[in-house]
Amino acid sequence: MDSEKLPILVFRGSIGKHPITKGYARMKAIIPVAGIGTRLRPHTYTAPKVLLPVAGKPILAHILDELTALGLDEVTFIIGYKGEMIRDFVNQNYKVKANFVEQPEMLGLGHAISLAKPFHNSDEPVLIILGDTIFSTDLKSVIEAGESAIGVHEVEDGRRFGIVELNDDGSVKKLIEKPENPPTNLALVGIYFMKHPTRLFDALDAMIEKGTTTKGEFQLTDALQSMLSAGETMKVFNVEGWFDCGKAETILATNKALLDNLNGHGNETELQARFPGSVIRMPAAIGEDVVMEHCIIGPYVSVSAGTTLRNCIVSNSIVGCDSMVCNIVLQDSIVSDNAKVTGNHYRLNVGDSSEISLD
C-alpha cells in the first residue's frame, strides 16, 4: 500500500482538533516508532503498528491527542519501518512542530533515542514515550514537578518486565531487566521524563561507542542505569492506565478497556440514529462514512471510516477502513483496511428431528 492512500487508510475522525495550548510549560517529546511490529502481523505488513486503529483512532493518535492537550510544543519521531506513512499521518493531522529522524536499522530503543540528539541537545526537559504505549496518568504534574521521573505500573509478576528498585526516599536505586527475584513489582511502562536530556544523550553515546548491548540491542534502560550509577536522581510516577498494543490479544483488550473508560458510551443515541435498522450495543466507536445494514454491532467494537457492514453480528472486534464485512458472526477479531470478509447465507429445508451443524 502506498503512503498516498494514507488519509483514507487511517482515520477520518476528530483527531488533531485540540488547540495547542501552552498552559503551563514548554514541552518537548521524543516518540520512537521505528519498529517493525512483527507480533502484529499480518496487520503490520501494510501499516506501521502505531497507525493501527484502537477504540476509534490510531494508537499514535491516542498518545498525540493526550500530549497536544497538555501543550506539546515540539516532538521528534524516530521513524523506520513504514516511516513515510507515520510522517504523512502526523503532518496531515497535527499542527505541532514535528521532526522526523530515520533509524535505518533496529538496533534497540537506546539507539533510537540517541538519534534525537540534534533536536534535544539542550537543557530543555524532554518526555520520552514509546509509540505503542497508550497511557493514562497525571503527566501534567510530572512535567510541572520538573524532576527526572520514570513511569511505573504495579504488576503481579515482575519477572517479565523491566523493574525499578527504589531507595528509602522513593527515588530510583536501580533498573533491572526481567529479574528472577524482583525487589518490587513496579514495572517500567515506557514513559520517561528527563530533566537533563544532554546527560541522557552522553550516556547513550558512551554505551553505543563501547558497543554495550543487552540481548543484542542498545537498551535505554542500560543508559539510564549508567546515569543512576553516576549519581543522577530520578523519581517514579504511577501510570494507572497502561494499555499495551503489542499483539492481537492485547490490542483487543486495549480496545475494550479504552472504549469502556474513555469515550465509548457517550454517543449511543447519535449512533443509533445514524444506523436505523441495525442495533448498536455500546460501547462502540464507528467512524465516518460507515454503511451498516441489518447488523448487531458491539459491545466493544471499533469500526474505521468507509467500511460497509451488512447482515452481520460483530462483538469485541476492530474493523479497519474501507473494508467489507457481510453475512457473518465475528467476535474477538481484527480485520484490517481494505479487507473483505464474507460468510454464508443458507437456505435450509430441515426435517423434523434433524440435527444440523454448519461449523
Which residues contact ligand UTP (rule: CB under 6 A)? 32-40, 49, 78, 103, 106-109, 111-112, 130-132, 246
* Cα–Cα distance, 260 to 340 (Å, whole number): 28
**Residue 74 CB, nearest approach to ligand UTP (Å):** 18
Closer to ligand UTP by Cβ: residue 214 or 263: 214
**Residue 35 CB, nearest approach to ligand UTP (Å):** 2
Closer to ligand UTP by Cβ: residue 109 or 295: 109
**Residue 220 CB, nearest approach to ligand UTP (Å):** 9
Phi, psi at 163, each rounded to 5°: -120, 145
Residue showing the smallest CB distance to ligand UTP in the complex: 35
Q: Give the residue from 298, 349, 293 showing the smallest Cα distance to 319.
A: 298
Closer to ligand UTP by Cβ: residue 106 or 236: 106
DSSP per position, 112-150: HHHTTHHHH-SSS-EEEE-TTEEEES-HHHHHHH-S-EE
Closer to ligand UTP by Cβ: residue 56 or 108: 108
- Give the CA diameter of the chain: 81
Closer to ligand UTP by Cβ: residue 241 or 246: 246
Closer to ligand UTP by Cβ: residue 251 or 330: 251
Contacts of 276 by beta carbon, 8 Å cutoff, 6+ apart: none
* Cα–Cα distance, 7 to 170 (Å, whole number): 46
Distance of CA 266 to the CA centre of its chain: 22
**Residue 129 CB, nearest approach to ligand UTP (Å):** 9
Whether residue 190 contacts residue 164, with contact meaning beta carbons closer than 8 Å, is answered with no
**Residue 92 CB, nearest approach to ligand UTP (Å):** 20
Contacts of 90 by beta carbon, 8 Å cutoff, 6+ apart: 60, 64, 77, 98, 100
DSSP per position, 60-129: HHHHHHHHHHHT--EEEEEE-TTHHHHHHHHHHH--SEEEEEE-SS---HHHHHHTTHHHH-SSS-EEEE
**Residue 101 CB, nearest approach to ligand UTP (Å):** 10
Closer to ligand UTP by Cβ: residue 49 or 303: 49
Whether residue 146 contacts residue 77, with contact meaning beta carbons closer than 8 Å, is answered with no
**Residue 48 CB, nearest approach to ligand UTP (Å):** 8
Cell 516518540: give the residue: 31
